Amino acid sequence: MKKANKKTKILVFVLTIIGVVVVPSLLICSPPSTVTMRNLGSTPLMGWNGWNRFRCNDEVNERLIKETADALVTTGMKEAGYAYIVLDDCWQIERNSWETIVADPKKFPSGMKALGDYIHAKGLKFGIYTSAGVLTCEGRPGSFGHEEKDIDRYTEWGVDFIKVDWCGVDDLDALVQYDLWRGLISKSSRPVVFSIAMPNLGKERPWLWGRAISQMWRVNNDIRDSWESIASIIDVNEPLARYADQNHRNDPDMLVVGVGNLTAEEQKSHLSMWAMMGAPLIAGNDIRTMTDTTREILTNQEAIEIDQDATESQGKQIQKSQDQEVWTKKLAQSGANAVALFNRGNYPSIITVKWSDIGYLAPVLIRDVWEHKWLGFSQKKFSREVPAHGVLLLKVYGLITNKGKTTQLPPLHTTSDGFLSDQEWIYAENGHGPVEKDMSNGETDSGDGSTLSIRGQEFNKGLGVHSYSNILYRLGDKCRLFHAVVGIDDEVEDKKTGAIFRVYGDGQRLYDSGIVTMSFMPLPISVDISGNRNLILQVVSSDPDTTQYQHADWADARVFCNQ
């Protein structure tokens, strides 16, 4: 009897891992098993939010939400995984005499508790919108100064998801405000998904600190129902893959499938690339009146499985030539990858992928996700003509090496007992140059500072910063005390320089030094941090019009934690 050659062995291996039954002269292929739907926060959130279709108009009312809940069930959207109904801006009308937020009684005559009960009775979850500032983006009452009261109110209503926007904020600090929300939500009696929505992105870059604060964060300005908007968002999100993990997601915004004038091909590409990026899938169309084409796109279970597969949190671009790209996303099944041949150009184009670039040993078996059919085996490479603004979305199965892994950030570091300069922060921003460990701020490169010195007293340990500065640490469960000696470093030339040192625990201000100038002796501080998860050390200018020479020292900065 002949021994099987190498290619035969590989072929049998490929067939085995995907569930192909081998019998004499016959190959019977069965699709891989469906991915088990998620636990809270473990895979990208799926749901509906009417903002992209209804905005702030009068149609956003109790009737719309109830009919949408009904339609999610009857159209198969719920079965496909769309579980959350999120009520966006314009549901609120005022605060009453007790400063409690009030829903518009004309739009929601039965009240929000009854609305939440209706949604839950359908087996769905209830989401709500607010803003971190005084006003929402549409000028309705925001949550600033009422965060705890609002969360208590949402808990009474049975809210399962809170989207917090960034309007009406003036000079508020995003890191501090969103950490305040995180801390309060974590202490509420109801498990809630927390979404950071910052459409007016500037220096904030929430992906740098989002993992320590929320389950998902926006990475771009509001999506529009145009191909240009979709393509530009993909460009923004592509390099951010390393910041996502199984429980934390870059959010490229809600879907515009079934909204506006996108072609069917563009809508398939939109959903395909959101799936490849492991993005939240939040439909934004009118579910009640959607066409069969829109429904089929939104409920393509094979595409949804790619999105919901958390083996690789966000896919990556491995090839780009002008407007033609190849993306991959590792899947849970052994030897399986999602592969997207993406043509963002205005004309049809042939796109080729070499399987060795993904790490495959030929042959591989290919399945077309949109046609729902097997394309057979492919050897070293695969080519297809992809329509303008189109994607060929594939599932590929074979024998794979370790080539092409995505580099993920390490797990969030938890601070333990000891000096903070000996430990890793989660995030740091600084007015000039980097935050320095065990030296003053030199304003340019790492390590260009001097010995920490305040009014002639030198310190071997500590952090050297320049306002405006934030440093975020994640505390262990048993940390109880923060200690430091603060002051303006002696290297400052302007003797009138002043700064303010602040300590935050879970977004709550625990300490404020007031204005500290060069004339101050070293100021020792001790702050009770027990019960807090996150610690933020902040230095701001005493004069908002200038930050020159504000070299500030957190000398001997350390936390005391029970072992």
**100 neighbors 149 (Cβ within 8 angstroms):** yes
Q: What's the burial of 404, exposed, middle or buried (CB within 10 Å: 0-12/13-18/19+)?
A: middle
Residues 64 and 192 both lie in one domain: yes
Q: What is the CATH number of the domain that holds 121?
A: 3.20.20.70
**Which pLDDT belongs to residue 403?**
55
407, part of any domain: no
Confidence at residue 341, expressed as pLDDT on a 0 to 100 scale: 99
Q: Is residue 89 part of a domain?
A: yes
Do 351 and 303 reside in the same domain of the chain?
A: no
Last residue of a domain, one of 369, 400, 431: 400
- Inform me whether the pLDDT recorded for 453 exceeds 60: yes
How far is 548 from 325, CA to CA, in rounded Å? Answer: 46
Could you give the percent of the chain with pLDDT greater than 90? 83
Whether residue 18 has pLDDT greater than 60: no
* pLDDT, tens digit, 9 for 90 and up, residues 458-502: 999 999 999 999 999 999 878 999 999 999 999 987 777 799 999
426 within domain boundaries: yes
Residue 36 resides in a domain: no
Q: What confidence category does residue 19 fall into, taking pLDDT thresholds of 50, 70 and 90?
A: low
End-to-end CA separation in angstroms for the chain? 66
Q: Is residue 521 part of a domain?
A: yes
Residues 165 and 61 in one domain: yes
Task: Give the whole-angstrom CA distance, residue 309 versus residue 493.
Answer: 56
Residues 163 and 265 in one domain: yes
Asked whether residue 419 is domain-assigned, the answer is yes
Q: Are strands 462-466 and 551-561 parallel, antiparallel or unpaired?
A: antiparallel
Question: Between 214 and 20, whose confidence is greater?
Answer: 214
Structure tokens at 323: 């407007």
Task: Give the pLDDT confidence score for residue 41 in this predicted structure.
Answer: 63
Comparing 129-133, 220-224, 404-408, the range with the smallest average pLDDT is: 404-408
Banded pLDDT at 22 (limits 50, 70, 90) = very low
Residue 117 and residue 23 share a domain: no
Residues 6+ apart with CB under 8 A from 236: 219, 220, 252
- Would you name the residues annotated as active-site residues? 165, 222
Same domain, 395 and 451: no
For the stretch 330-378, pLDDT in tens is 999 999 999 999 999 999 999 999 999 999 999 999 999 999 999 999 9
Q: How many angstroms separate the CA atoms of 137 and 197, rounded?
A: 11
Residue 542: what pLDDT? 86
Q: Are residues 355 and 264 in the same domain?
A: no
- Residue 201's pLDDT is 64
pLDDT at 517: 92
Q: Is there a single domain that holds both residue 194 and residue 103?
A: yes
- Asked which of 254, 286, 308 is the last residue of a domain, the reply is 308
The CATH number assigned to the domain holding 428 equals 2.60.120.1060
What the block records as the tokens of 231 is 């393509």
Same domain, 215 and 77: yes
38 or 80: which leads in pLDDT = 80
Total domain count, the chain = 3
Q: What is the pLDDT of residues 238-284, one digit of tens each?
A: 999 999 999 999 999 999 999 999 999 999 999 999 999 999 999 99
Residue after which a domain boundary falls, among 400, 426, 457: 400
Give the global pTM: 0.91
Residues in the chain: 563
Where do we find the tokens 């879907």? 255
Domain hosting residue 187, numbered range: 46-308
Q: Give the pLDDT mean for 103-115.
A: 99
For residue 10, the model assigns a pLDDT of 47
Q: Is residue 517 part of a domain?
A: yes
Smallest CA-to-CA distance from 556 within 442, 428, 463 is with 463
Q: Residue 372 maps to which CATH number?
A: 2.60.40.1180
Q: Same domain for 282 and 430?
A: no
Please indicate, yes or no, if residue 365 is contained in any of the structural domains: yes
- The pLDDT tens digits for 195-251 are 999 865 667 799 999 999 999 999 999 999 999 999 999 999 999 999 999 999 999
Q: CB neighbours (10 Å) of residue 444?
A: 11
Based on the domain organization, do 78 and 221 belong to the same domain?
yes
Specify whether 332 is located in the same domain as 431.
Answer: no
